[in-house]
Structure 1
Amino acid sequence: MPSRPAGARPGPGAGADFPDDFLWGSATSAHQVEGGNTNNDWWDFEHDPATAARESSGDAIDHFHRYFEDFALLSALGHNAHRLSLEWSRIEPAPGEFSRAALAHYRRVLTALRDEGLTAFATLHHFTRPRWFAARGGWLAPDAAATFGRYCARVTAELGDLMPYVCTINEPQMIALHGYLEGYHPPGVTNPILWKRAGDALLEAHHTAVSAVRATSDAQVGLAVQLPLLAPAREDDACVAFCEAMRYEIVDRYLDGVDGDWLGVQYYRKQWVDPSSPTRFAAPPPGTPLTQMGWAVHPDGLRQMLHRAARASLPLYVTENGIATTDDAERADYLATHLAALAQARAEGVDVRGYLHWSAFDNFEWSEGYRPRFGLIAVDRDTFTRTPKPSAYAYARVARTGRLDALAEQEST
């Protein structure tokens, strides 16, 4: 009997919690790991002392040059899928001007991913916009959807053969919320009217992108949405009604408006909504377990939001889920409780076909800089040395066996 190749998983066998064809992996985004993405609005935001950004992304973790070894490491850790993004500002550095060098680079990246046996989930827009696109009004420009569609069509025409799964936009509702209501991300606006207008524009851009992808490739196209579990801070009528309104704006309008072949669910936390708060959200109740980001850990929220996402009537993939912590034992516990919630949702009939942990590596966390540690793999930012954490090996055991109890097993030599 031939030996099993490195990174391959056995069949589920007796006692498996997930089927053999379940996709297991992790996620990254270009700006957070590549380094040197100087032609986008985030680079400008990071270098403006008036913004919420703590530091520059700089060289990030130099994934732009180290992708080959990174994919080999992920494959060795039992992953059979990986989510990454393509940097729009590299591919289209000026309006209508497409870089052959950048497209060739991403062909090499996607080829390396395929050759390591990792199924690609390629995101076309993960928060960063080309500087020229932002200067023209970003998502509020009248031709924003058409401009984005042109970029999507070019990318999938050139690279679609290497992208079995394509995500149009990462977390459109968080782009709108953080960028146009909270001012926490570019363009740093705090305007409730523009917040809703940006949401409309992003949904239009998603629909335009779906048409562009389908016209130029055979890729399965979808959308990745962050779905926090929202609850009223108080049980009075006004607070409950406000919570329902916020749930519609952040969650349901995107589930009802999605177009595509699949839906990515990204879950991190429970949030309490409060109309009397200037931020519209209340602090978690005292004693609530919190991450480095101050986010409330609530594992059953993943199960609940998978059920809510099922209203889209599409196959679901968990495209992000993870914890910012310097305590890796806490990360292993987070994995155990959230994967159990995922398994329960599947047992209850929700069609979930894969889990991509956020994130593969400790990396640049937007306005929070490098302080939060989300990665399964630590990175020395002076030498760029990669070091898998114990949680990475625990996750590998689940990926290889499909069994939740493998998390607690001892790593063999």
Structure 2
Amino acid sequence: MPQFQLPLGSKMRDPQFVFGVATSSYQIEGATKEGGRCDSIWDTFCRQPGKVDNGDNGDIACDHYHLWEQDIEMIHSLGVDAYRLSIAWPRILPEEDAVNVQGLAFYERIIDKCHALGMKVYVTLYHWDLPQYLEDRGGWLNRETAYKFAHYAEVVSRYFGNKIDVYTTLNEPFVSAFLGYRWGMHAPGVVGESEGLLASHHLLLAHGLAMPVLRENAPDSLHGIVYNATPFYPESEKDEGAAMYKDAANYHWFMDPVLKGSYPELVLEREYAHKPMVLEGDLEIISAPVDYIGINYYSRGVVRFDENGDIESVPQSESEHTDIGWEIYPQGLTDLLVRIKSRYPNLPPIYITENGAAGNDECIEGKVDDEQRQRYLQQHLLALDKAIESGVNVHGYFAWSLMDNFEWAFGYVQRFGIVHVDYQTQKRTLKQSAIAYRNMLLARSEENKNG
């Protein structure tokens, strides 16, 4: 039977180290017209021709809205310590000031079931599904949306309080701001340099405004934010400046305001014409202390200066890539975490909140042999162990994703799950990677039980 191996003496063998799986609301729930939910920007975006592969949408997705109970049982069967999910803002506030008790009750059932089975619950408040009525007023280009988010955080945290073990304000603000409002590849599809940077500031302001609200309503829970971070490497020594800038523009731009109270000068200088309006006091709000940060890691980037002095990506054609076209580079996870530790002296604990690979997975006679994903996950667990050995304070690891789901602009073409989903029948099948993950966690549990 397949099983991932953790090095002897690894801190990840400790029962305090959290292993989990992760999902997000729009990607799995479906039932977009049920339970009092209103449209999100992704419902609208999916209706626009050519925006999503095959014209796919999240109307049904994995039908988790109806199948949640069996899904939570399945998660528990994997032996994980925690489940990371997101709450759909459109289910909680389908109208601006009208709290939808059906939406709260749906998530309460999930949370209660997880706790009854002994699993902790990590909840993301915003995983990109902004209510469409807020987008109609400018979305994240409108400063008011940051205050609407704080109100939404108040509604959720007042209802659940400490029942949610760990709150995340935002998942990957880079993606929300830049893919959604700068490059137009994600909902709502806005294109503009100034727009992308302005949206990023308002997202971070939303995070900062929500933090004291969450602390007041859930004083015993942990509160933080999750970033996607891609470490960049220079093609040659003369390209080191290109890699430094890409690190700054990719993740320092979002981490520095929270952890240092300022935006990186490298980006402000280069993007001077597009820099966002930052009001007095904004950075103090944004830099409120956090209990942890989440890091989502998938791959690296290699860059160089072209003949005009612009920065361009350098494809690594000799390397192995996943089905989505991302290079497999486990060392990047070690390097990234060490870089982050070096940059932020007062760094709070880190969770790896997403790590995984897209595969061209087929279920053949009830078995899914996702050999590449098994290697990917094993190699990244070892890379994480190296970072921990180097002194990085990591408290947990979440595999992305629990199951195949709606992969945003890629629709259902890309499969990131460790569980296979047949979208015609909604049958779930554990892939070999899920079995290897489960066997590793069961072995760890036995080891800790026996001392």
By the TM > 0.5 criterion, same fold? yes
The residue that corresponds to 1:196 in the other structure is 197
CA drift at 1:190? 2.3
1:304 to 2:346 alignment: no
1:142 shift after superposition? 2.4
1:272 aligns to what? Answer: 302
- Native 8 Å contact 2:354 2:399 kept in 1: yes
Equivalent residue number for residue 354 of structure 2: 320
Give the alignment of 1:327-342 within 5 angstroms. 328-342=370-384
CA distance in 2, matches of 1:357, 1:313: 23
Cross-structure match for 2:433: 391
CA drift at 1:225: 0.2
Q: How does 1:97-112 map to 2 (within 5 A)?
A: 97-112=98-113
1:195-241 residue CA offsets vs partner (Å, 9 max, x unmatched) = 211111111111111122112212210101001111235554xx543
Which whole-Å deviations, capped at 9, do the CAs of 1:255-306 have from their partners, x for residues lacking one? 22224111101000111345659x9652522212111211111001111112
Matched with 1:250 is: 250
Aligned to 2:233: 231
Q: Does 2:391 correspond to 1:361?
A: no
Query: Aligned-pair distance for 1:379?
Result: 1.1
Aligned CA distance change for structure 1 residues 13 and 50 (closer, same or farther; 3 Å):
closer
Aligned 8 A contact 2:223 2:291 in 1? yes
Structure 1's unaligned 5+ residue stretches are 1-11, 404-413
Matched letter for residue 321 of structure 1:
N
Deviation track 1:72-109 (CA, whole Å, cap 9, x = no partner) reads 11111111111000000111101121101111111111
Cross-structure match for 1:406: none
Tell me by how many angstroms 1:143 deviates: 0.8
Structure 1 pair 136/289, CA: closer, same or farther in 2 (3 Å)? same
In structure 2, distance between residues paired with 1:216 and 1:383? 41
Q: Secondary structure at the match of 2:197?
A: helix
Alpha-carbon separation, structure 1, partners of 2:143 and 2:305: 32
Asked if 1 retains the 8 angstrom alpha-carbon contact of 2:7 and 2:382, the reply is no
Aligned pair partner of 2:392 in 350, 360, 363: 350
Corresponding position of 1:37 = 32
Cα distance, 1:192 vs structure 2: 1.3
After TM superposition, the structure 1 = structure 2 runs for residues 125-136 of structure 1, keeping only pairs within 5 Å, are 125-136=126-137
Deviates more, 1:15-24 or 1:115-124: 15-24
Give the TM-score normalised by structure 1.
0.89
Equivalence for 1:179: 180
- CA deviations 1:380-401 (Å, max 9, x no partner) are 1111111101111111122233
Aligned residue type for 1:116: L
CA distance in 2, matches of 1:231, 1:174: 21
RMSD: 2.2
What is the total number of aligned residue pairs between the two structures?
Answer: 390
The match for 2:165 is 164
Report how far residue 175 of structure 1 moved.
Answer: 1.3
Shift of 1:244: 2.3
Q: Which amino acid counterpart does residue 253 of structure 1 have in structure 2?
A: W
| Distance in structure 1 (CA, Å) of the matches to 2:357 and 2:199 | 28
- Looking at structure 2, the residues matched to 63 and 117 of structure 1 have their Cα atoms a distance apart, in angstroms, of 20
SS of the counterpart of 1:303?
A: helix
Q: Which runs of 5+ in 2 are unaligned?
A: 1-5, 34-38, 259-288, 362-369, 446-451
| 2: CA distance, partners of 1:285 / 1:23 | 33
Native 8 Å contact 2:123 2:164 kept in 1: yes
- Kindly provide the CA deviation profile for residues 34-82 of structure 1, in whole angstroms up to 9, marking residues without a partner as x: 0033510101101100535541122011111111111111111111111
Query: How far is 1:15 from its partner?
Result: 4.9
What does the per-residue CA deviation read over 1:161-184, in whole Å, with 9 as the maximum and x for residues that have no partner? 321100000000121121122211
TM-score, normalised to structure 2, is 0.82
